[in-house]
Structure 1
């Protein structure tokens, strides 16, 4: 994947109105939706499914609701924003850890890891883990 493959949808989500019907006129259950798919070649459509891998309902986001809006359709192609056009920075400890593993990385993939950049302002905090160990580690000696 390349940098331009990562797109954000926050602008789009602010511009849409909660649709109650799909393109066939069937009701849409947002609370039961388990999966939402968005495709580059169909920028004004989203595909909702109430089961993982299930048959999706197609919802047209370009169609404006009837009341209280103008008749001009929305155009979503310009509402996708590129995420991290300069690449996503990682924390310095994470970069140091990756660099220590470079000898184990195959040479054809090494360039990617060598080009990673870090920011001193970022802090790793995954599920409450921020680098300090808050549990006992037992050795198998």
Structure 2
């Protein structure tokens, strides 16, 4: 009986994780050899609801910022405006910045030649009635 309860609990947890709307789309079309996430994921929230994830990646001798709008938010707000960029400690602005207006659910920055300096990824998601932004921690 105990094994059945544990099995049922594990199955329920797996099912719940399947429908949380988290990001698994981490294929960067600009870096076919693959990218590796560096640092922790930053979660962008509107109130208590998670809107998007911001991550920093390295690959193909560049750093990339990545923004992914969670399925649950995107279903209610399909016309998001997304921005992603790589910043350095010494820059006055983004070293690598890109944006998309419309129905996109994810956005990769173009890639910055910044592997030799400290960087962080920043992302914005906004619409007519909300705006969220945030950045990952700095990675050196």
TM-score range with shorter-chain normalisation? under 0.3
Structure of greater Rg: 1
Scaled by the length of structure 1, what TM-score is found?
0.24
Scaled by the length of structure 2, what TM-score is found?
0.24
- Structure with the higher strand share, 1 or 2: 2
